[in-house]
Amino acid sequence: MKYKPVKVGVIGCGMISDIYLENLKNKFYITELIGCSDIVEEKAQRQAEKYGIRKMTNHEILNDPEIELIVNLTYASAHYEVNREILNAGKHCYCEKMMCITMDEAQELNRIRKEKNLMFASAPDTFLGAGMQTARYIIDIGLIGEPIQAQATLTRGYHMIKSDDDDAARKYSVMYEGGGIPYDMGGYYLHELFNIFGPVESVCGYAKTRNAERPYLNPRNSKFDDLFTVNTPNTFSAVMQFKNGVFGSMNISSEYDTGRNEFKIYGTRGILSIGDPNLFGDSIILEKNDMSTQIPLYFPYKTNSRGIGAADMAWALRTGRPPRISFEMGYHALEIINAILACTDDKKVKLLSTDFERPIPLAADIYSGGAEERSLFIYN
């Protein structure tokens, strides 16, 4: 083969790992999945057997000379520590969700990846899917005229601590800083806005932790009905001004569950509903002149293609181009989340210091099956 696949290891075998392991193993040619690890060894063993890969320790993955790229699927409060270990081991890194929690942590990760000349990016990669790429294309060609405003709203119930194992070992819960919905889902909306409009210039808003003291809900948990403390914001409202002049608002809460989200771009000639950025192929609806039309998805990757960001990074490694998901995008998203928290305290608008280049879109040619991956190979 002209291009040798990049050997990949995965750290973290929780709920999201199935789709990553499936796609990195079977969907993408450019990734060769070697092994997986988890703090709960039984989970790593189960996933290794399921996907026919090696059950490894973190140490083994970090020190395997053949593994070039490591995908970090651990819980939010562990992201900084694990990402730092990956970079210090000289491995390229792709991290699910936010790369870390604080800007100081992000600056340290930035220092290490520059010093070692490594690629490092964080999720989401859903904006590389058919739905969000189509939305960008429609706006770029002017079907809604000049974009004026973007509005995003997400409300969903949030899982509490499920079992003693979750409480004691995994720490993936609202009990831990960074475990709340702004960090978990905020990046999905921000990255799609970045994909369409580029970087944000300034931001203001509010965040709060509603009902911080609440009971364990699962009667199977040994602490059932005891109280615990929510240690992360669970309701978040922001207003952003993009550098291109567009205004955007984002409202996210895990305190009531409508089972719905709204994500719309308002232009001088129409409105575009761009679906759920947590999905790869949600419906795109164009509203013009009192008519509503569902737009066909022009791009590949309509089904759940998590791992596409790591695959794109692997193609970048083999072809010598930049990855479409840059470190700078994730850095910018984290600064926005932290700026909103700071606004809550001092009630002042925040000018952002981070920046990034708007990512190159996927090729719009119609590919199907295994040929979909050519859309990642093409970069222009």
DSSP H/E element including 8:
strand 6-11
Which ranges in the chain are annotated with CATH 3.30.360.10?
A: 147-267
Average pLDDT value for residue range 252-278: 90
Residues making up the chain, counted from first to last: 380
pLDDT at position 215: 84
- Cα–Cα distance for residue pair 262/152, rounded to 1 Å: 6
Cα torsion 163, 168, 171, 177 to 10°: value is 120
Residue 127 has pLDDT above 90, yes or no: yes
**Within 13 Å and on the Cβ side, how many CA atoms surround 379?**
16
* Residue located via tokens 């990074």: 313
The CATH homologous superfamily to which domain 147-267 belongs is: Dihydrodipicolinate Reductase; domain 2 (3.30.360.10)
pLDDT at position 224: 85
Q: The pTM is what? A: 0.92
Pick the CATH number of 6-126+304-325+357-377 from 3.40.190.10, 3.40.50.720, 1.10.730.10, 3.50.50.60: 3.40.50.720
pLDDT category of residue 168 using cuts at 50, 70 and 90: low
Residue 164 has pLDDT above 80, yes or no: no
Tens digit of pLDDT for each residue in 298-329? 999 999 999 999 999 999 999 999 999 999 99
Which ranges in the chain are annotated with CATH 3.40.50.720?
A: 6-126+304-325+357-377
Give burial (CB, 10 Å; 0-12/13-18/19+) of 369: exposed
- Cα–Cα distance for residue pair 195/361, rounded to 1 Å: 8
pLDDT at position 290: 85
Helix (H, G, I), strand (E, B) or coil at 84: helix
The answer to whether the beta carbons of residues 135 and 279 sit under 8 Å apart is no
Tens digit of pLDDT for each residue in 205-220? 999 988 888 888 778 7
* Residue located via tokens 């690629």: 119
pLDDT category of residue 276 using cuts at 50, 70 and 90: very high
Which residues, other chains included, contact 285 with Cβ-Cβ below 8 Å and sequence gap of 6+? Answer: 272, 273, 292, 293, 294, 295
Residue 259 has pLDDT above 70, yes or no: no
Average pLDDT value for residue range 177-182: 78
The answer to whether the beta carbons of residues 13 and 51 sit under 8 Å apart is no
